[in-house]
Structures are given as structure tokens and as C-alpha cells.
Copies of this chain bind each other. A is one copy, B any other.
Amino acid sequence: MAAQRLLVDIHTHVYLPRYAAFLRSRTSVPRIFTRASPESGKPEERLLILDDEPSGGRPIGSQYWERDEKLKFMDRHAIDVSLVSSANPWLDFLPASTAHALAAELNDDLETYCSTGPSLSANLKRLYGFGLLPLVPQATTESLISTVEQVASLPHLKGVIMGTRGVGKGLDDEALDPVWAALEKAGLVVFLHPHYGVDKNAWGEKANGHVLPLALGFPFETTIATTRLILSGVFDRYPNLRVLLAHSGGALPQLSSRLASCVAHDPLVASRLRHDARYYLGKLYFDAVAYGSEELGFVSDVIGRADKYVSTGASAAVSSAKGTDGTAKRRAGAQRMLFGTDHPFFPPLGETEKWKSVVENLEAIDGVYGWDEADKDAVRGGNAFALFNLGS
């Protein structure tokens, strides 16, 4: 099987049946509730995952929990393999003991979801997954480490998905060092994903639906969390830790030279880092969920330039290479970017054969200036095979 020509979706979500049932049992956010449809009058389920969410939440249905719906979506878009992850808000809202028990159950559920699903060959399934850790306040290190070990023991789980709160103080909390160490040792990929956005006062009074928190708040949260991780020295202490950023890293690529400049002007912060801030972007992985070719090309530029910034913070490296290597850097950076869909979010408004959100992300990859077909194949699937060690 020519693995490098397969289409692999590394950003695709599920609410496993056990989780959906749990959300239905709740009376506060996050929850699933049933209402009469304003159009048809028939009962319909709605999902509320944020406080003060507009429009009575969003529609939810079997595409969130039925494996057959995931496979139908994959077939419709010619997606060969999916790395499925629980959708936000994961276990964030639970007390530590509940979170630990539910994480263990959901990890087992996801392993079954993958392992009993269809195969492409003797060594290759169509479904793999990211597990969950009980990352909530009061979680003990022992609970977190034992869950990392559980995930590592489940052959179809290739990493963990996590939000940005850690055990309550964010991901730059030293209390998480044993968790990073355990994830690094186990070779599990960390898929970093937003949920909270930023303070909603920023969005103002005008009715813009979910547009501002989704289009801006989500990527801002990822940007902040990743920047705090960089500044905390986690990537210096755990250089083999593999972190995959949702939504192409949010705004981090565009703000990375500004970040490096601000760090360089603050001797205290600079002294804590082994390298210029831009160096660390070359240690990260980025999904290709940005909906535009120019965005993807740019993200590959900042990954590809990262090696120039190896060395120290305060007396940082030369600022920019000259023109001629523009395409070489861009092609190098493509090796750390991976196709994703964000399914089942961003469903089409009408009945369509294909989802606009998926088509746009595929067209974006296809249209990147300076990527050749091999680079595009890598982003569409080859990089996922390498990162997650699939098919071996």
C-alpha cells in the first residue's frame, strides 16, 4: 500500500456514546438537551458547551457518536484513515475522581471503536485515536501518569488530546512536568486543542453568532497556551515531546517574530530559554486546518525557518534569510503539517455531496505556492503515517 498517497484526517472529533449519554444526564453546561425544533416542531437534540452560548447551542446528532456516520463522512470525502479525538470540553468540568474513572472508560471505548472498525490492510486500520487524560484541578500526578500508561498500552491510541488548562493553572505549570516526561517517554503525540477562547467581553454587543469566539477566540487560546509552553522551557526540558497544534497553531506563526523580539527585549525571560522563540515552532506539528493556501504556505515558512534560530535568546540569530531559499524553507516546513477536517463541526448549511469545510482545506493544500506534489501528499497523509507510526 502506497501509504504516502493515502488521505489521513488527524483532526476529527467524536462524542463517544458513553460521553454523549453523560452530557444528556447533566443540567448545566456542558450538556445535551432536547427541544422542539422551531421549524418542524419535532424533538431535536442541541449541544451547549460554553456558558452564554447564543442561539440555544448548536445542533447535534448521530454524526457525533455513530462510528458508521464517521465512516460515511470519510468515504464521501475519500478519507482513508482518521485519527479520532474526543471533542471539547473533554473532562475539564469534572471532579478529579470522576475525571479519572471516565477517562479510563472512554480510552477503552475509543480503543474498541478503532480496533473493531474496518481495516485497509493487515497492518492498517481506518480508525485510530487520541486518548484523554484527567486534566482537572486536584488531579494527582499518579492519576495522570497511570492514564498516560493506559493510553500507551492501547495499540490504536496514538496520542492524547488536551485543552489548555492543565490541572488549573495552564500548561506552563511545573506540576505537569512528570506528565510531559511520561508522554515523551511513551512516544504519544499531544494534540493541543482550544475550548475556552478569551474573555467574551472582547466580542462586544453586536450579534455575530459564534463567529468571533470560533474564528478568533479559539486560535487565540491555542496561541497563548503554546506561547506559555515555549516560555516555560518545556520544549527545552522535553526536546522529544511531540505537540500537534489545532487550527494550524492559531496566530502563533504570525506573531512569532514579534514574540521573539519581545523576549529578546526582556533579559529575564530570554535567559530562561535556550533558543530564540522562533526555534521552537520547528519542534511543533501543525494541522492544516486553516482554510486557505496562503495561510498554509506561511505556516510552512515559519516551520522551515526555525532552524536558523537555534542558539540563544537574548543575542538572537540573524533575523531573516534572503529571498532565494524561500521555497526550500517552505518545502521543509510542509513535513510538519497534517490534513484535518474538524468534523463533525462546520457542517454544510444545505444538502451537499461534500462538506465545504473539507473541500476548502483540501483545495488549500493543493494551492500552496511552492509545495510540489510530494509535499502535498505528505501533508495529506504521509506526515501522519510518520508521526503516528501507522501501518507498521
Contact = CB atoms under 8 A, between A and B. Distances in A.
Contacts of A215: 227, 255, 258-259, 261-263
A36 interface: no
Interface in A265-291: 265-269, 278, 290-291
Given A204-B228, A267-B349, A298-B301, A257 B214 contact: no
A52 interface: no
Contacts of A265: 346, 349, 357
A323 B211 contact: no
Interface stretch (A18-26, A108-116, A177-185, A361-369): A361-369
Q: How large is the interface on A (under 10, 10 to 19, 20 to 34, 35 or more residues)?
A: 35 or more
Contact of A253 (B254, B260, B293, B349): B254
A61 interface: no
Nearest to A299: B254
Copies of this chain per assembly: 2
A117 to B, nearest CB: 29
Given A251-B220, A255-B216, A258-B219, A301 B294 contact: yes
Given A215-B255, A323-B367, A202 B224 contact: yes
A45 interface: no
Nearest to A365: B320
Interface string A208-233: 11111011100111011001100110
A93 interface: no
A294 B290 contact: no
- The A contact surface, by secondary structure, is helix
B356 A264 contact: yes
A359 B202 CA distance: 34
A219 B266 contact: no
A343 interface: no
A188 interface: no
A204 B7 CA distance: 38
A256 interface: yes
B293 A320 contact: yes
A369 to B, nearest CB: 3
A101 to B, nearest CB: 29
Nearest to A359: B319
A294 to B, nearest CB: 4
A373 B369 CA distance: 21
Given A253-B254, A323-B369, A367-B321, A202 B211 contact: no
B216 A261 contact: no
A340 interface: no
Given A198-B220, A209-B266, A298 B291 contact: no
Given A169-B205, A326-B369, A216 B363 contact: no
A27 to B, nearest CB: 27
A64 to B, nearest CB: 17
Contact of A319 (B264, B302, B314, B364): B364
A320 B365 CA distance: 9
Contacts of A266: 208-211
A224, A293, A319, A320 — which one has the most chain B CB atoms within 10 A of its CB? A320
Nearest to A221: B202
6 contacts: A209-B269, A211-B259, A261-B291, A293-B320, A294-B298, A294-B301
Nearest first, the 3 A-B pairs at minimum CB distance are A326-B369, A257-B292, A251-B251
